[in-house]
Chain A
Amino acid sequence: MKLHGVHVPHMKNTAECKGVRMPVPAAVTIPMAMHIGKPAKLIVKKGDTVKLGQLIGEADGFVSSNIHSSVSGTVQKVDEMVSSMGAKVPCAVIASDGKQELYEGIKPPEPTDFDSFISAVKLSGVVGLGGAGFPSFVKLSVKELSKIEHVVINAAECEPYITSDTRTMMDKGEYVFKGIEAIKKYLGAKHFVIGIENNKKEAISRMKELSAKTEGVEVHVLPSMYPQGGEKVLVFNTVNRVIPKGGLPLDVGVIVINVTTLAFIAEYLETGIPLVEKCVTVDGSAVKEPKNIIVPIGTPIKDLIEAAGGLKADPAKVLYGGPMMGLTVPSMDEPVLKNTNAIVVMDKNEAKQHKTTPCIRCGACLNHCPFRLNPRDIAHAYKMGDGEALKKLCVDLCMECGCCSYICPANRPLVQTNKLAKIKLREYLAEQKAQQEKEGK
Chain B
Amino acid sequence: MEKLILSVSPHISGKRTTQSIMLDVIIALIPAAIASVVFFGIRSLLVICVCIATCMLSEFLFEKLCKRENTVLDLSSAVTGMILAFNLPVTIPLWQAIFGSVVAIIVVKQLFGGIGQNFANPAIAARIVMMTAFSGTMTAWVAPNAINKAVDALSTATPLVAESKGETPPSYLTLLLGTHAGCIGETCAAALILGGLYLILRGVISWHTPAAFIAVVAIMSFICGKDALYQVLSGGLLLGAFFMATDYSTTPSTKWGKIIFGIGCGLITILIRFWGNLPEGVSFSILLMNILTPYISKLTQNKPLVGEAKV
Contacts and interface: CB of A to CB of B under 8 A. Distances in A.
B169 interface: no
B152 interface: no
Contact of A360 (B116, B255, B307): B116
Contacts of B71: 357-358
A244 B309 contact: yes
Interface string A311-323: 0001111110001
A8 B12 contact: yes
B164 interface: no
Identify the interface centre among A232, A360, A376, A405: most chain B CB within 10 Å of its CB: A360
A316 B254 contact: no
Interface in A409-433: 409-411, 413, 415-416, 419
Contacts of B12: 8-9, 160, 323-324, 350, 406
A408 interface: yes
Contacts of A48: none
Interface string A355-369: 001111111101101
A316 B8 contact: no
Contacts of A416: 8
B300 to A, nearest CB: 11
B66 interface: no
Given A6-B14, A247-B307, A353-B13, 7 more contacts: A241-B310, A253-B310, A328-B6, A363-B252, A366-B302, A374-B301, A416-B8
B305 A242 contact: yes
Interface of A: 3, 6, 8-9, 160, 232, 236, 241-245, 247, 251-253, 314-319, 323-332, 344, 346, 350-351, 353-354, 357-364, 366-367, 369-374, 376, 393-394, 397, 400, 402, 405-411, 413, 415-416, 419
A351 B5 contact: yes
Nearest to A246: B306
B69 interface: yes
User: Which of B13, B74, B303 counts the most chain A CB atoms within 10 A?
Assistant: B13
B277 interface: no
A244 B10 contact: no
B267 to A, nearest CB: 23
B67 interface: no
Nearest to A4: B302
Interface residues of B, number: 42
Chain A interface main SS type: loop
B304 A323 contact: no
B248 A402 contact: no
Contacts of A350: 12
Nearest to B2: A314
B118 to A, nearest CB: 10
B114 interface: yes
A250 to B, nearest CB: 10
Contacts of A318: 4
Interface string B131-147: 00000000000000000
B90 to A, nearest CB: 31
Most interface-central of A318, A363, A373 (chain B CB within 10 A):
A363
A354 B304 contact: no
Contacts of A251: 309-310
B299 to A, nearest CB: 14
B20 interface: yes
B305 A232 contact: yes
Interface in B1-43: 1-2, 4-14, 16-18, 20-21
Given A315-B4, A353-B13, A366-B254, A374 B115 contact: no
Given A244-B307, A371-B305, A373-B304, A419 B76 contact: no
Contacts of A408: 13-14
B174 interface: no
B96 interface: no
B224 to A, nearest CB: 33
A413 B13 CA distance: 11
A360 B309 contact: no
B156 interface: no
A362 B248 contact: yes
A409 B18 contact: yes
Contacts of B14: 6, 406-409
From A314, A358, A373, residue with most partner B Cβ within 10 Å? A358
Nearest to B250: A361
B249 A360 contact: yes
Contacts of A253: 310
Contact of A411 (B13, B76, B308): B13
